[in-house]
Structure 1
Amino acid sequence: MALQPTLRPLIIAGTADAPHTLDIFLDYVCPFSAKLSLAIDSVLVPLLGPQGKYHGKVKAIFRNQVQPWHASSTWVHEASLAVARTSPDKFWAFSLALFKAQDDFFDIPTSTLTPTQVREKLAKLAEQATGAPAAKVQDLLTNKTSPNGGVDVTDDLKYTIKFSRQNGIHVSPTVLWDGLIVNEISSSWGEKEWTQFLEQKVLV
């Protein structure tokens, strides 16, 4: 599993030592990613959880897939990584909240806001949706050092972007099974498709 220690909260289902890995590349301002997030939460999380059939066999890792043609994409992904730092157990809950509120962070709604204002909205959403302290999230999203030094989670963001680039990931959602892209997986998949997929892939 390729995942630096600070990003362990991105394991959203299953155990870290599970032999099989689903890497799921999602963008918070992508409608198709939002659709897939519902299936992840309602189907995959239970199947890979403590009472699930594939517990200890498969883990699902959320992979932040920044889509730079949407200006706010960087900011929403930064916010999720800030929550991963301040409230690791709330990362997936905040991700779901972001997907539900994604319309608020589309291009036009954010076009008249400054980056600081967008980050303030994200910090408030984090607290309202998950209880993650807005002040701590906001602090991690604040420029503090050099004029071009980024914020406190910039290094985590760089890691996620470099991981996507070196694996040739271009669109969201994209899913890897044990390191290889699985093109047939779609945002329209529901319980039937995911169940059949896992039955075929997990043989022991």
Structure 2
Amino acid sequence: MAFQPSLRPLVLIGPVDAPHTLDIFLDYVCPFSAKIAKVIETSLIPLIKKDYNGKVKVIFRNQVQPWHSSSTLVHEAGLAVARVSPENFWPFSLKLFEQQTDFFDIPSSSRTPVQTREKLVDLAISIPGIGASNKGALLDLLAHKTSPNGGVAVTDELKYTIKFSRQNGIHVSPTVLWDGLVANEVSSSWGVDEWSKFLKEKVSV
């Protein structure tokens, strides 16, 4: 599947020109997305490295779920990290999934959007690969532009990810595409055995 060059850090594993593509649509404040994210890290990525190196790429697809008030804000933070520290996009995503309850509806309701963004930046700089030296750059990317309704510096990337989801009829998180088609059989409960079987059946090169 195609994606704009600025979003290349969202490729979690595999070369950009890998013959097979797994697009995985995740929302940072979705418990089932958090569940499959852990499996991606502990089972899927090691499996691809071992048996399908160069044959499969995995792309993180931001799936904003607007009925959660903080969903836009957490995805903006992920895209800001991808811009400032591309190699730490996935470590930040995993950390955010681990602490997603801090950004659920009720905890978020007592904070302003600016306070939520600051909390997300503090979470990001707690990752050693990002660090406090990048705090200013992250805050700058997440600050409102001079236009009263202009969004932030990563709004264009956010728009792209949302339009991509809408264009492809993605509604729920997580949703997985294999080579551009929805793979409804994939479950957030899958472990290494299920992913092994899936890839063995699907990889044709």
TM over 0.5: yes
Q: How does 1:17-166 map to 2 (within 5 A)?
A: 17-49=17-49, 52-132=50-130, 133-166=134-167
1:171 partnered with 2:169: no
Q: Answer whether contact 1:13 1:44 (CA < 8 A) is retained.
A: no
Taking the aligned partners of 1:11 and 1:63, their CA distance within structure 2 comes to: 9
Which has the larger displacement, 84-93 or 40-49?
Answer: 40-49
- Gap change, CA 1:130 and 1:66, over 3 Å in 2: farther
Structure 1 spans left out of the alignment, 5+ residues: none
The TM-score with structure 2 as length reference comes to 0.96
Q: Determine which structure has greater relative contact order: mean sequence separation of CA pairs < 8 Å that are 6+ residues apart, divided by chain length.
A: 2
Which amino acid in the other structure matches residue 12 of structure 1?
L
Q: CA deviation at 1:17?
A: 1.2
CA RMSD of aligned residues (A): 0.8
Q: Answer whether contact 1:14 1:45 (CA < 8 A) is retained.
A: no
Which amino acid in the other structure matches residue 56 of structure 1?
G
Percent identity of equivalent pairs: 68
Structure 2 spans left out of the alignment, 5+ residues: none
Taking the aligned partners of 1:129 and 1:122, their CA distance within structure 2 comes to: 12
Which amino acid in the other structure matches residue 18 of structure 2?
A
Taking the aligned partners of 2:159 and 2:53, their CA distance within structure 1 comes to: 31
Figure out how many residues of one structure are paired with residues of the other and give that number: 202
Q: CA deviation at 1:46?
A: 1.4
Which amino acid in the other structure matches residue 99 of structure 2?
A
Q: Residue 183 of structure 1: SS of its match in structure 2?
A: coil
Taking the aligned partners of 1:136 and 1:68, their CA distance within structure 2 comes to: 26
Q: Answer whether contact 1:93 1:130 (CA < 8 A) is retained.
A: no
1:193 partnered with 2:194: yes
Taking the aligned partners of 1:17 and 1:163, their CA distance within structure 2 comes to: 19
Q: Answer whether contact 1:67 1:73 (CA < 8 A) is retained.
A: yes
Give deviations 1:49-77, integer Å, cap 9, x for gaps.
3xx21111000000000000001000000
